[in-house]
């Protein structure tokens, strides 16, 4: 397939012009950045928004009557409202700011553990989970005497579901929590979370979704999904590092105990007893990453401005133009990489986002990643914080290329050529 034959769903050059880092050289070569599943690059608007806070406001939120504090509070709460609209939460106070998906999942595991888990209860996860959706639940189970149950993964990288209407049969009368990734960071698999949530709700099971890899690539509607909690990071969605969100249904958040104590999350403190603040502040102890949150709000504004604009102008009206573009890159990369002798893709689900993990006979993923870097091509190598999944597929790690809206077919071709060149050197 030639690059000229592939028509992008968006104006890629218009998008690329907004990312300053794409003008950088790596080892004297133009940067080809395919590590978006680890962290995405940031458009100039996001960088300016974060910088402008420090240059023109730089005051704490909710804690002062002076002008700068008021401006900081208004800017942070505006970001909360932007995110509420983007994920279609009912209320802004259902949007809890955290430092990232890992913090969100730890909050969920600690608080739900305190609220729900008793000895012999079960928490159900899947074999493809990121460590951030495994370890916090292991810790919660250890604290409360509960058990961790695991949904296995098929050879194609999909959940091994039950035979009845393709829904899982792993639920038991002791299952209290289902916590599942919306999209696998290693395989790119899009899991049928809406169907799983519906089954869980029939049984009164609380549902938690790790949306770290979905938020920048899928249209997320938490009311349509009907999930109880939904977690994601800012830095994988064109926003700053150190920012994240835990969405929660109001009724559940009201019942959940806070997991950190300190300033902001309190109502009244005495040495005898403390009462807690209302949502969302009950879960936001201490000074937040205000500049980052403002930048995160700008990232969501930016995605909506460009993704929706391109979608409205295309035949795919109502769908994500970014996702359509990334799917085109995925299809092209899959076809071209599979033509390389000895290359095997780990994760061939029917429904995927723009992520390809692969191994090559006789080539170590670390060596391949190092040689690609010498050509200016950034990919991720290793176990991608999914060691149980690597064990499931019998590999120590993979080379992973993950795409974003600013990537091009020409860059995919550069990756393929780079892999071929590296294989000749390593075999």
Q: Which positions are annotated as active-site residues?
A: 385
Name the H helices within 6-163: 12-16, 44-56, 67-87, 101-116, 135-144
Alpha carbons 286 and 281: distance in angstroms, whole number: 10
Is 249 exposed, middle or buried (CB count within 10 Å of its CB: 0-12, 13-18, 19+)? buried
Residues facing 98 on adjacent strands: 244
- Extract the tokens encoding 381: 């190598």
Alpha carbons 344 and 282: distance in angstroms, whole number: 48
Beta carbons of 130 and 136 less than 8 angstroms apart: no
Burial letters for 179-199: b for 16+ Cβ neighbours within 10 Å, e otherwise? bbbbbbbbbbbbbbbeebbeb
Alpha carbons 106 and 132: distance in angstroms, whole number: 8
- Tracing tokens 């809206």 back to the chain, one arrives at 405
């Amino acid at each position: 397939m030639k690059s000229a034959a592939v028509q992008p769903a968006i104006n890629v050059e218009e998008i690329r012009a907004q990312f300053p880092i794409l003008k950088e050289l790596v080892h004297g070569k133009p940067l080809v950045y395919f590590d978006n599943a680890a962290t995405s690059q940031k458009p100039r608007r996001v960088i300016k928004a974060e910088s402008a806070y420090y240059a023109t406001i730089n005051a704490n939120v909710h804690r002062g009557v002076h002008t700068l504090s008021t401006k900081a509070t208004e800017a942070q709460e505006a970001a909360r409202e932007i995110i509420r609209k983007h994920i279609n939460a009912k209320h802004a106070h259902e949007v809890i700011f955290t430092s990232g998906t890992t913090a969100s999942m730890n909050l969920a595991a600690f608080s739900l553990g305190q609220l729900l888990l008793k000895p012999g209860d079960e928490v159900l996860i899947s074999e493809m989970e990121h460590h951030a959706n495994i370890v916090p639940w292991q810790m919660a189970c250890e604290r409360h005497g509960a058990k961790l149950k695991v949904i296995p993964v098929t050879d194609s990288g999909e959940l091994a579901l039950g035979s009845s209407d393709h829904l899982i049969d792993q639920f038991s009368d002791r299952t209290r929590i289902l916590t599942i990734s919306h999209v696998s960071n290693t395989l790119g698999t899009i899991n049928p979370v809406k169907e799983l949530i519906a089954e869980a709700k029939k049984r009164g099971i609380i549902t938690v979704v790790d949306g770290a890899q979905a938020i920048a690539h899928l249209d997320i509607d938490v009311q349509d999904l009907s999930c109880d909690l939904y977690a994601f990071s800012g830095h994988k969605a064109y926003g700053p590092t150190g920012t994240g969100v835990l969405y929660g249904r109001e009724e559940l958040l009201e019942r959940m105990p806070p997991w950190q104590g300190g300033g902001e999350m309190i109502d009244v403190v005495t040495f005898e007893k403390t009462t807690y603040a209302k949502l969302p502040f009950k879960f936001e102890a201490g000074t937040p990453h205000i500049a980052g949150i403002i930048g995160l709000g700008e990232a969501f504004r930016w995605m909506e401005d460009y993704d929706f604009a391109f979608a409205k102008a295309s035949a795919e009206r109502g769908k994500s133009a970014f996702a359509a573009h990334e799917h085109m890159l995925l299809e092209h990369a899959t076809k071209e990489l599979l033509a390389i002798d000895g290359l095997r893709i780990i994760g061939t689900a029917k429904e995927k986002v723009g992520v390809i993990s692969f191994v090559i006979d006789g080539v170590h993923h670390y060596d391949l990643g190092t040689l690609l870097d010498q050509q200016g091509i950034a990919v991720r190598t290793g176990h991608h914080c999914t060691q149980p999944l690597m064990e499931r597929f019998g590999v120590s790690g993979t080379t992973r290329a993950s795409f974003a809206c600013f990537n091009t077919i020409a860059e995919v071709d550069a990756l393929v050529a780079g892999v071929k060149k590296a294989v000749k050197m390593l075999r």
